[in-house]
């Protein structure tokens, strides 16, 4: 069923500012909007959510009051204009405006609300600091780009609801926001209660609730879920965020993947072209080996190459040292035309980055115009070996290879990071490697179930979360060597960003208790409600969550997810418009049995 949107129902305007065309010539219309600009008392441009319309200011004496009103109204004032739609004079049409063939000759007008001096101009091309934009977010929302982003987001969510609920029988269920702490994962926001010493937690996701809904027999659950994490903001992260949360009973990994591919294909904006399904898939080990990351950007090449076998017979000491260790390797990436676009300072910066972030030494190899190699490595290699190395690395004239030797994961991670940094440098020089209008989806599968803790590598933590089921082929290893267990976890990656993650869940109470108590050394009592529920005939189930903010920001090519959220938090997690978080009085804290221990400087400020 196709619906035609009626933007003029229930309101007193006759048309929006973006819909008038030559077919409306001769009609009397009433428009409401903001004054975009006014020129020399002759005309103004009126703007609303849908577009712009040129309004001709009357010059005759009979309409002098209308002229005075419109000429004196400040930019961004809200006005009502009634007038006649007329064709623009020949040669004055504006092909860049959808309404550029017509203008409205004003007959009456009313200033509904004047605008005071603006902190910045409401124009997309005007540069303004993000802090100022967020302080006056209600003004920033008037920009065409933010209007477009939020409306596209709304359309996609509505299409997702149609696909899930109307076509595939999912039930939209709201789950609680006030809950209790979940072991592992990100830090959670605490909410005090009136019971002394007891706190709620804001959930990082509805994970436990959606599993409990499967135990309850709902079969297919869906929610546009608000989630919370008490951690530092990044361009693609906020303390409060939205995810498309999904869970199904009697499903396997392939079923979830087919569902999500269909969901995205159905809801994908037409103006962004078509996406191809099914999405390609690679294992976690393949992603790490070829791209140095579990969220590879496959829009461009420069894949990591393993040259361990080629250099194994060489007399290069650092290579032999690296290969003598377990999981020792020698790998490289080749940067096309790197000698043309990478300056010496760029190469030094790349090497310094690998050293500081990964404690990994990097050696560069440059293919000169005469086809010879320039590198510290060449003094250990004969001419034949150098020629073979060029072939192994598939180097062309002016290419630059970056080589790293050491432990497999560290080498891959370092080269994966340098691959992206090199792409940034090449694109800054004018090369196009990562077209933002191209969308490369990818499934990454077969993650490890557990990883060593950074602070204590002898202990394990969940790579995803403690409810993820082990790979069916590795179930026995869970009890003998959990470090070798693969999981039934899957991530959806788009253009190098993770936009979704999910898993098949543990539905056995015995296995879930073993993972919590024996492997993760967690107190299972905090999850006693879930463990008990699993004992009452819990069906096999699995699910996924799509990060809506991140997905939309990639679709519209926004620099930050803050550009697709109506009222986002700042980089430090603050609301600059409402000045939140804010202080509360001791009297307001008293019912919650909380006293604030003020820093000394704050105490002195309050006393003064």
Contacts of 240 (CB under 8 A, 6+ apart): 226, 227, 228, 569
Residue-level pLDDT at 234? 66
The answer to whether 300 and 423 are in contact (CB under 8 A) is yes
User: Is 147-282+440-564 in CATH node 3.30.930.10?
Assistant: yes
Dig out the tokens for 101 from the structure: 């063939």
Kindly give the pairing relationship between strand 28-39 and strand 305-306. Answer: unpaired
pTM, 2 dp: 0.93
The string over 391-401, giving b where at least 16 C-beta atoms fall within 10 Å of a residue's C-beta and e elsewhere, is ebbebeebbbb
Beta bridge partners of 504: 542
Distance CA 71, CA 93 (A): 23
Q: Which residues of the chain have pLDDT under 50?
A: 601, 604, 608
Number of residues that make up the chain: 608
Asked whether this chain's domains 22-113 and 300-429 adopt the same fold, the reply is no
User: Is 22-113 in CATH node 2.40.50.140?
Assistant: yes
The string over 500-512, giving b where at least 16 C-beta atoms fall within 10 Å of a residue's C-beta and e elsewhere, is bbbbbbbbebebb
The answer to whether 221 and 168 are in contact (CB under 8 A) is no
Residue-level pLDDT at 235? 61
Residue-level pLDDT at 607? 52
User: How far are the Cα atoms of 172, 431, 432 from residue 341, in angstroms, in the given order?
Assistant: 52, 9, 13
Q: What fold characterizes domain 300-429?
A: Gyrase A; domain 2 (3.30.1360)
| Among candidate residues 247, 243, 207, the one with its CA nearest the CA of residue 226 | 243
Dig out the tokens for 379 from the structure: 């003094």
* CA atoms within a 13 Å half-sphere pointing along the CA-CB vector of 52: 20
Residue-level pLDDT at 454? 86
Domain ranges of the chain: 22-113, 147-282+440-564, 300-429
Instruction: Map residue 388 onto helix, strand or coil.
Output: helix
Distance CA 154, CA 361 (A): 48
Q: If you ran DSSP here, which 8-state letter would residue 505 be given?
A: B
The answer to whether 467 and 211 are in contact (CB under 8 A) is yes
Residue-level pLDDT at 142? 96
Distance CA 17, CA 280 (A): 44
Distance CA 477, CA 136 (A): 56
The answer to whether 295 and 375 are in contact (CB under 8 A) is no
| Among candidate residues 103, 110, 104, 105, the one with its CA nearest the CA of residue 58 | 105
Residue-level pLDDT at 183? 72
Contacts of 25 (CB under 8 A, 6+ apart): 85, 86, 87, 102
Residue-level pLDDT at 608? 46
Preceding amide of 166 cis, omega within 30: no
Instruction: Map residue 334 onto helix, strand or coil.
Output: strand
Q: If you ran DSSP here, which 8-state letter would residue 268 be given?
A: S
| Among candidate residues 486, 498, 487, the one with its CA nearest the CA of residue 443 | 498
């Amino acid at each position: 069923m196709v619906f035609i949107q009626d933007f003029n129902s229930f309101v007193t305007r006759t048309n929006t500012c973006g819909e008038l065309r030559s077919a409306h010539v001769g009609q009397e219309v009433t428009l409401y909007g903001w004054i975009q600009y006014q020129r020399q008392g002759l005309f103004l441009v009126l703007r609303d959510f849908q577009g712009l319309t040129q309004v001709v200011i009357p010059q005759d004496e009979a309409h002098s009051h209308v002229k005075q009103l419109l000429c004196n109204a400040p930019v961004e004032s809200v006005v009502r204009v009634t007038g006649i739609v007329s064709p623009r004079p020949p040669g004055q049409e504006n092909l860049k405006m959808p309404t550029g063939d017509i203008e409205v000759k004003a007959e009456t007008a009313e200033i509904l609300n004047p605008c005071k001096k603006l902190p910045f101009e409401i124009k997309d091309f005007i540069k303004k600091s993000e802090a100022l934009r967020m302080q006056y977010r209600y003004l920033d929302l008037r920009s065409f780009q933010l209007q477009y982003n939020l409306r596209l987001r709304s359309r996609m969510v509505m299409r997702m609801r149609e696909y899930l609920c109307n076509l595939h029988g999912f039930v939209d269920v709201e789950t609680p926001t006030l809950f209790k702490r979940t072991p592992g994962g990100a830090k959670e926001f605490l909410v005090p209660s009136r019971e002394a010493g007891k706190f709620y937690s804001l959930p990082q996701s509805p994970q436990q609730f959606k599993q409990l809904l499967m135990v309850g027999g709902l079969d297919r659950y869906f929610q546009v879920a608000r989630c919370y994490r008490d951690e530092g903001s990044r361009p693609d992260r906020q303390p409060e965020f939205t995810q498309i949360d999904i869970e199904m009973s009697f499903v396997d990994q392939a079923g979830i993947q087919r569902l999500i591919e269909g969901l995205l294909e159905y809801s994908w904006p037409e103006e962004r072209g078509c996406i191809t399904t099914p999405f390609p898939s690679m294992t976690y080990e393949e992603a790490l080996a070829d791209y140095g990351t579990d969220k590879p950007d496959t829009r461009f090449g420069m894949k990591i190459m393993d040259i361990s076998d080629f250099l194994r017979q060489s007399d290069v000491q650092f290579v032999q040292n690296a290969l003598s260790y377990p999981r020792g390797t020698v790998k490289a990436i080749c940067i096309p035309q790197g000698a043309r676009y990478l300056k010496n300072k760029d190469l030094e910066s790349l090497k310094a980055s690998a050293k500081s972030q990964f404690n990994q030494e990097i050696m560069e190899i440059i293919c000169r115009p005469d086809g010879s190699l320039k590198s510290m490595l060449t003094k250990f290699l004969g001419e034949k070996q150098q020629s073979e190395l060029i072939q192994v690395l598939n180097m062309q004239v002016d290419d630059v290879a970056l080589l790293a030797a050491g432990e497999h994961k560290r080498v891959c991670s370092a080269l994966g990071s340098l691959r992206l940094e090199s792409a940034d440098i090449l694109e800054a020089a004018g090369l196009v490697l990562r077209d933002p209008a191209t969308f490369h989806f990818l499934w990454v599968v077969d993650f490890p179930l557990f990883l060593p803790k950074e602070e204590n590598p002898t202990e394990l933590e969940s790579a995803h979360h403690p409810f993820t089921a082990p790979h069916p082929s590795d179930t026995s290893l869970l009890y003998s060597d959990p470090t070798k267990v693969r999981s039934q976890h899957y991530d959806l990656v788009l253009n190098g960003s993770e936009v979704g993650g999910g898993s098949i869940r543990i539905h056995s109470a015995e296995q879930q208790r073993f993972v919590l108590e024996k492997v993760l050394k967690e107190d299972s009592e905090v999850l006693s409600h879930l463990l008990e529920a699993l004992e009452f005939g819990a069906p096999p189930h699995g699910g996924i969550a799509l990060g809506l903010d991140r997905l939309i920001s990639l679709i519209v090519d926004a620099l930050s997810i803050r550009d697709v959220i109506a009222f986002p938090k700042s980089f430090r997690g603050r609301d600059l418009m409402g000045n939140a978080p804010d202080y509360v009085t001791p009297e307001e804290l008293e019912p919650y049995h909380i006293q604030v221990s003020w820093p000394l400087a704050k105490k002195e400020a309050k006393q003064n």
